Chains A and B, each alone.
Chain A
């Protein structure tokens, strides 16, 4: 359980995090999504007690992170950005060190070490020094380090950066599995990652939360109105006049002409779908409709919309 209330962090004149509040419950995997420099890492550093917030409070596992930092840190596993590790240590030596600092009793240490080696797939690199490991393996050692004490809360800053596609799939399914009984926060700027692993999306831009909710809620909320792609034959003025006259159409843009077919993007008012109306419009006026489909709102659309502050219709959208 993570409860964050009104957290603000200022570095001199720069406000990195601006009045952020959210809650993540047990059994939830929350994905922080945002462009670089949005404040994701800063929020994570505050939650793990590395730096204090300028204002606001945060409670993790029932303890205040500022008053009871040590109790919080005992219950949190943290994978910092780029998985920083002691390069001159061996893999087992390093994990053993973390276990001893975390006060895992010696008789349990071996079991938890073995579990981590198994879960993170470290069998092949056990005897190596961390400096010899590839980025993917370092990332996995970082994950092992974060989970070795079986924490209630797991905070991971870009857990899959630098991994190859197979490793990414492995890590994602691991995160999903962990998410069932733990509270997980991860940050990423890969949208498909959120779609693949998270039950909850928190989109952050310039230090503020611009969207927070389940994947469905956020994708629905993002787009104001729906988008139809329309490929038609015939002269443009006639079509444009008709479209303007159709009830429910907020705006439309002409995109391109190809082989006598004009492509339009039609934005509707509210949440209305205009597929049928557009079809009837073409049929009634005897004009040729070559293609008509409604664009599916994806997280990607929402993300660019929310983090770029551009009006739909002025922006080139990928079909």
Chain B
């Protein structure tokens, strides 16, 4: 546990060592705050908060891959994986340490992005339920994307490939329902596809309903990709 913590600390600090991270934070916060002003402060129609969260997702599937792309790819490129994995650390401890660091960074950015909505809400008479649920949904979605991102990063030593692979998987999971709507699928497959669609689960949380099925869905996506991540790190052993 102390090893996971040590790796976590080092990785979390590492996010602030690169200019890219600051660049991404600034751009990301700029975009989501613009969205907030556009959809919530000057609403042209009803249900504006929901639209804000929906567009927030577009920010996430670009932002999260950008912060996770270097996690493992960089280690492999610099060959520091040989250093890290010959320390008395189990492979899964290294994977978790890095994953938690990306989660912490994500939380930080989500918290920063929530400043505007919260300060506006404090002035008015907010409905805290949807705001809280929406951010929980964003966190779960971001956490899933981060698991996908770190897993993708462990499969290549090229950060850009890791980024693209993560975006493709994230967008694939977001749009699978729409994509498959065009195909004549049997009922059980439609059910499966709907279940797999990550946006589908977000929508129900975004409505303010925290359903344990949705939470379990996100947790299983995270667990699955962390498992893949560990396997990819172990891959050196099968070669």
Which A residues have a C-beta under 8 Å from some C-beta of B?
11, 45, 48-52, 70-71, 73-74, 76, 78, 80-82, 84-89, 93, 97-98, 100-103, 145
Contacts of B89 in A (CB 8 A): 73, 101
The 6 closest A-B pairs by CB, nearest first: A84-B79, A100-B6, A73-B88, A48-B86, A88-B17, A80-B82
Contact residues on B (Cβ < 8 Å of other chain), bracket: 20 to 34
Nearest residue, chain A, Cβ from B93 = A101
Decide: A50 and B82 in contact? CB cutoff 8 A.
yes
Decide: A103 and B237 in contact? CB cutoff 8 A.
no
Chain B stretch 7-38: residues in CB contact (< 8 A) with chain A = 7, 9-10, 13-14, 17-18
**Of B3, B18, B83, which is within 8 A of A103 by CB?**
B3
Nearest residue, chain A, Cβ from B78 = A84
Decide: A85 and B83 in contact? CB cutoff 8 A.
yes
With contact pairs A97-B6, A97-B10 given, residues A82 and B237 touching in the complex (Cβ less than 8 Å): no
**Number of A-B pairs whose CB atoms are under 8 Å?**
68
CA separation between A205 and B138, bound complex, in Å?
A: 57
Contacts of A86 in B (CB 8 A): 10, 14, 78, 80
Q: Give the residue among A84, A88, A101 with the most B Cβ atoms within 10 A.
A: A101
Contacts of A76 in B (CB 8 A): 86
With contact pairs A80-B79, A82-B79, A87-B78 given, residues A98 and B87 touching in the complex (Cβ less than 8 Å): yes
Decide: A78 and B86 in contact? CB cutoff 8 A.
yes
CA separation between A85 and B79, bound complex, in Å?
A: 8
**Of B6, B10, B17, B80, which is within 8 A of A85 by CB?**
B80
**Of B17, B79, B80, B87, which is within 8 A of A101 by CB?**
B87
Nearest residue, chain A, Cβ from B10 = A97
**Of B7, B13, B86, B237, which is within 8 A of A52 by CB?**
B237
Decide: B86 and A102 in contact? CB cutoff 8 A.
no
Q: Give the residue among B17, B80, B88, B89 with the most A Cβ atoms within 10 A.
A: B88
Give chain A nearest CB distance to B147 CB in angstroms: 23
CA separation between A214 and B32, bound complex, in Å?
A: 69
Contacts of B14 in A (CB 8 A): 86, 88-89
**Of A49, A70, A82, A101, which is within 8 A of B6 by CB?**
A101
Decide: B6 and A88 in contact? CB cutoff 8 A.
no
Chain B stretch 205-239: residues in CB contact (< 8 A) with chain A = 236-237, 239
**Of B18, B78, B86, which is within 8 A of A49 by CB?**
B86
With contact pairs A88-B17, A88-B18, A97-B6 given, residues A45 and B82 touching in the complex (Cβ less than 8 Å): yes
Decide: B3 and A101 in contact? CB cutoff 8 A.
yes
Decide: A74 and B85 in contact? CB cutoff 8 A.
no
* Binary flags per residue of B23-61, CB closer than 8 Å to A gives 1, else 0: 000000000000000000000000000000000000000
Decide: A102 and B78 in contact? CB cutoff 8 A.
no
CA separation between A209 and B56, bound complex, in Å?
A: 61
Give chain B nearest CB distance to A248 CB in angstroms: 53
CA separation between A306 and B36, bound complex, in Å?
A: 74
Contacts of A85 in B (CB 8 A): 78, 80, 83
Decide: B236 and A50 in contact? CB cutoff 8 A.
yes
CA separation between A71 and B88, bound complex, in Å?
A: 7
Decide: B83 and A89 in contact? CB cutoff 8 A.
no
4 additional A-B residue pairs with CB within 8 Å, beyond A51-B237, A145-B83: A52-B237, A74-B88, A76-B86, A85-B78
* Binary flags per residue of B78-106, CB closer than 8 Å to A gives 1, else 0: 11101101111110000000000000000
Contacts of B6 in A (CB 8 A): 97, 100-101
CA separation between A48 and B89, bound complex, in Å?
A: 12
